[in-house]
């Protein structure tokens, strides 16, 4: 699917989400019927991704920067098993811990991490997760990171419904005063046991949803980072290294790769990224684009950030597309045994 075609589909999905429609599908019923047996086989081979073990990672990071006059930044992880860190054995290997450690090092401030992400969650669980965050008696998080979408595709949730729940979550968090960065739907066509034609359909569905998610998130004042292609060539070329033992969830190295892609956007949303890197670089094909076109391009290239720019243009809202350079995530501290306050 071309970038322009993906932009048109993403606009239709996002419009359906905004205005209550639900008829835009990710794949035709006939195609789904043809690959039903393949879906069942793939599920048996990769497992259902519902292992209950998620390492505890919540607590205070960057303790060396702590002091009586230094309030910690508050980071909250929402979403599914990818946001929770399912598939690794130690809390310090989870994306939340990696992001908290990296943010603490770059901000030179301690970071308090809280995780409400739930393995197996679809986007409709974000309503519950956001309610947990906003019900907390502590201050609203400075930054919320959401990773969601894979289960929406595998459970065949209508994409308009998926985007509607995500956009609502971003709106509620932004209204409360939190910055929001969303890691969009990963490329499910890279799961090793999945064969053709399911692999092609999974890739198309994943990228369509990721592009539509971007439109919905940017329109509510959040930023997105594409994880799709990040989990593409790198995972396909190194499945034993970048996938965990179940061949479905990322390994520690895979989560570190994802965290490295998201960290610059987290820092930029808090005004912590170098000012010279905030200007679009034409040599890296960065710049201002209609939001649907930016969303479609981002869905095809990992680590690409899309953020709101001008409120409107000849073809609707515009966005800034950034292909941020990846930087090494600082070595994480061991996760504390219990949450710190």
Q: For 207-226, what is each residue's pLDDT tens digit?
A: 889 999 999 999 999 999 99
Which pair of tokens denotes residue 322?
A: 């950034």
In a domain, 249, yes or no: yes
In a domain, 149, yes or no: yes
Is 187 a known active-site residue?
no
Q: Which of 80, 81, 124, 226 is catalytic?
A: 81
- Count the domains in the chain: 1
**141-159: pLDDT as tens digits:** 999 999 999 888 878 888 8
CA dist 6 and 24 (Å) reads: 13
In a domain, 40, yes or no: no
Q: Digits of tens for pLDDT over the chain (341 positions)?
A: 555 565 555 556 555 555 554 444 444 433 443 444 454 444 444 444 444 578 899 999 999 998 888 899 999 999 998 899 887 888 888 999 999 999 999 999 999 999 999 988 999 999 999 999 999 888 899 999 999 998 888 788 888 999 999 999 999 999 999 999 999 998 877 665 556 666 777 778 888 899 999 999 999 999 999 987 565 544 555 554 444 444 456 677 778 888 888 999 999 999 998 777 778 888 888 888 888 888 888 887 878 899 988 665 555 678 889 887 554 444 445 445 444 43
In a domain, 3, yes or no: no
In a domain, 5, yes or no: no
In a domain, 335, yes or no: no
In a domain, 183, yes or no: yes
Longest CA span, the chain: 63
Q: Which of 123, 125, 226, 249 is catalytic?
A: 249
Is 51 a known active-site residue?
no
- For the CA atoms of 328, 118, 307, 219, the dihedral, rounded to the nearest 10 degrees, stands at 180
Is 246 a known active-site residue?
yes
Which pair of tokens denotes residue 33?
A: 């019927």
CATH of the domain at 205: 3.40.50.1110
Domain range for 155 is 59-323
Q: Which of 51, 56, 246, 247 is catalytic?
A: 246
Residues in the chain: 341
In a domain, 158, yes or no: yes
CA dist 335 and 86 (Å) reads: 15
């Amino acid at each position: 699917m071309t970038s322009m075609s993906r932009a048109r589909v993403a606009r239709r999905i996002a419009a359906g989400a905004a205005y209550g429609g639900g008829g835009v599908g990710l794949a035709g019923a006939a195609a789904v019927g043809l690959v039903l047996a393949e879906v069942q086989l793939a599920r048996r081979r990769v497992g259902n991704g519902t292992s209950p073990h998620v390492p505890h990672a919540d607590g205070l990071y960057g303790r060396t920067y702590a002091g009586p006059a230094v309030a910690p930044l508050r980071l909250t992880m929402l979403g599914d098993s990818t946001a929770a860190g399912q598939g690794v054995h130690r809390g310090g290997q989870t994306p939340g811990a990696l992001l908290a450690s990296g943010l603490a090092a770059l901000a030179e401030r301690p970071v308090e991490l809280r995780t409400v992400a739930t393995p197996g969650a679809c986007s409709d669980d974000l309503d519950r997760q956001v309610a947990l965050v906003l019900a907390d008696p502590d201050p609203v998080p400075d930054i919320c990171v959401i990773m969601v979408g894979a289960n929406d595709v595998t459970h065949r949730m209508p994409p308009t419904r998926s985007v509607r729940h995500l956009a609502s979550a971003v709106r509620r968090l932004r209204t409360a005063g939190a910055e929001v960065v969303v890691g969009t739907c990963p490329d499910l066509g890279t799961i090793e046991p999945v064969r053709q034609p399911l692999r092609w359909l999974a890739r198309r569905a994943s990228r369509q949803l990721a592009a539509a998610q971007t439109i919905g998130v940017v329109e509510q004042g959040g930023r997105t980072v594409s994880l799709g292609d990040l989990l593409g060539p790198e995972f396909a070329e190194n499945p034993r290294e970048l996938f965990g033992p179940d061949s479905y969830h990322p390994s520690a190295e895979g989560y570190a790769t994802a965290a490295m892609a998201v960290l610059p956007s987290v820092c930029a949303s808090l005004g912590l990224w170098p000012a010279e890197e905030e200007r679009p670089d034409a040599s890296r094909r960065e710049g201002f684009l209609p939001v649907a076109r930016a969303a479609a391009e981002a869905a095809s290239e990992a680590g690409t950030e899309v953020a709101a720019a001008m409120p409107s243009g000849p073809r609707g809202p515009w966005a800034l597309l950034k292909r941020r350079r990846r930087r090494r995530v600082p070595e994480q501290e061991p996760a504390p045994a219990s949450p710190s306050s």
